[in-house]
Amino acid sequence: DFNRKMTEFSSGWQMRVELAKILLQKPDVILLDEPTNHLDIESIQWLENFLKVYNGAVILVSHDKTFLDNICSRTIEINAGKIYDYKVPYSEYVVLLNQRRMQQAAQLNNQQKQIAEIEKFIERFRYKATKSKQVQSRIKMLEKMDKIEVDEIDTSSIHFKFPPAPHSGKTVVEIKNLSKSYDDNKVLNDVSISIQRGEKVAFVGKNGEGKSTLSKIIVGQIDDYQGTFNLGYQVSIGYFAQNQAALLDGEKTVYETIDEIAQGEVRTRIRNILGSFLFDENDIEKKVKVLSGGEKTRLALAKLLLAPVNLLVLDEPTNHLDMVSKDILKIALMAYDGTLIVVSHDRDFLHMLTDTLYEFKHHQVSLFNGDIFEFMQNKQLKDLDELNRTETKDNTGNKTDKHVTQNKLNYQKNKEKESLLRKIRNQIKATENQIEQLEKQIHSMDSELSDMDNAKNIYENNDFFVRYEQRKQELSDCMQKWEELQNELEEKQNECQQKNTIKTI
């Protein structure tokens, strides 16, 4: 690698080299602006451990909550031209921030009451000579009073949900014995995976191990490989590439970027779609080349809403997104009823979003059923287990090794059962959240219908009743889905109990 040109490396590896140049200089102050954007999870963990014990000052600009919490002991907030300094990690800062805003609101409310009482006194006794001194005193009191200000809160955020996914076959992606090389560089070797309808899958591993390559094979951007790859019946794909923002045409306006690919009825809703991603009337006429990285990412995400798809493939979608936008994207993906494949290094983003992980390592892909933090913990235990097995084999021979292997198989089977139950419970929770939101929307629309003053406008608006019936149908579908999931959960729990009973007997 030392003799290879930088252009031969992936963006993640190039970022490592730039970061290494800074760290090797051992400066008194290290200033890092979004350092985790192109690093894989293992690299982020290494950087965390390095910065924790670094003998110098470290200033971080980051939207990675876990990264900030693991390193920083101080958080500086910059808001509306003011700076607030908190001597605590990020998560504790969020708690203190909410407390500060509540205190400000309470103080402002008390001051407004005080001002109202003073003004009432002034108006009541303004023209009474016997009260003139008291009136003048209170007027001066108002003039000298320091008005309490509540910090401005930017409540603007993207808001959207993915269209309902069209029905597809049960097996969405089927890959068998797939290999891929770039010249003499082997990236994937004899890889086999199967992804089923409705699964939410994460691709994790070091940079350069083939995560993006396999994603491109799945979406049809790479067809030069060995082995077999098949998409399921009626599978339609929405794809967000790692460099999606860079692929946008800089000379086109925001509106033109969407308009050129929108078709049919969607074209009438372009402005609404862009508005959901915080592009106002002035923004939509801007050329793409003047947009920030975050704005380009939002525009690229907006393109995914132009047509309903049943397979989303997202490669590092959170790069350049702020914390609020990341959370909203995550919520939308949790409610998405299609199949999801996401390549990401963002631990907070993956947590509770995906329930199946494929680890890319040494040209191979291995399956892990569970959450990202369970995977990371299991990975640490696995490394220790390998060390212990080696020592055991040296001391006691193959008999003990077979016993350890059998225990590991039993452990893995139990983990898979637990993971399946957890996956169903997560789906039930997401469906319950959808039901709650739909019930709120229908209740709000019922209130509008009962408003006699607004009745004429509603009955003249055919779109209202179309949306009303859509919400009711969506609620009915969600209730049916919830019932099916509950039955499935009960069946799986009974199966596990029966197997445990048999083992006990």
pLDDT, residue 222, reads: 92
- Compute the distance between CA of residue 349 and CA of residue 327 in angstroms, rounded to an integer: 7
Going 440 to 318 to 308 to 359, the CA torsion angle's sign is negative
pLDDT, residue 228, reads: 94
In this structure, what are the phi and psi dihedrals at residue 270, rounded to the nearest 5 degrees? -60, -45
pLDDT in tens, 262-279: 877 777 888 888 887 888
Q: How far is CA 364 from the centre of its chain?
A: 26
C-alpha distances in Å from residue 5, one per residue of 1, 185, 210, 362:
8, 14, 19, 22
C-alpha distances in Å from residue 227, one per residue of 212, 213, 217, 269, 341:
18, 14, 12, 42, 21
pLDDT, residue 502, reads: 42
Going 214 to 218 to 221 to 224, the CA torsion angle's sign is positive
pLDDT, residue 76, reads: 93
Give 354's contacts (C-beta < 8 A, 6+ positions apart): 200, 201, 202, 340, 342, 371, 372
**Strand, coil or helix: what is 462?**
helix
Convert 209-228 to b/e letters by CB count within 10 Å (16 or more is b). Answer: bbbbbbbbbbbeeeeebebe
pLDDT, residue 501, reads: 42
How many residues are present in the chain? 505
pLDDT, residue 185, reads: 86
- Compute the distance between CA of residue 118 and CA of residue 132 in angstroms, rounded to an integer: 14
Which amino acid belongs to residue 91?
Answer: S
Give 311's contacts (C-beta < 8 A, 6+ positions apart): 168, 172, 173, 231, 235, 236, 237, 238, 338, 339, 340, 341
User: Per-residue pLDDT for the chain (505 aa), expressed as one digit of tens each?
Assistant: 778 888 877 666 787 888 889 999 999 999 998 888 778 888 888 899 899 888 899 999 988 888 999 999 999 988 878 888 999 999 888 888 888 888 878 888 888 888 888 888 888 888 877 778 888 888 888 888 887 777 766 555 567 778 888 999 999 999 999 999 988 888 999 999 999 999 999 999 888 889 999 999 999 999 899 999 999 999 999 998 877 777 788 888 998 888 888 877 777 888 888 887 888 888 888 898 998 888 888 888 888 877 789 999 999 888 878 887 888 888 888 888 999 999 998 888 998 899 899 999 999 999 998 888 888 888 775 554 555 555 555 555 554 454 445 445 554 565 666 677 778 878 887 888 888 788 888 877 777 766 666 666 666 666 777 777 788 888 888 888 888 888 887 777 777 655 544 443 3
pLDDT, residue 504, reads: 37
User: What beta strand segments (E) does 111-214 contain?
Assistant: 171-182, 185-196, 200-205
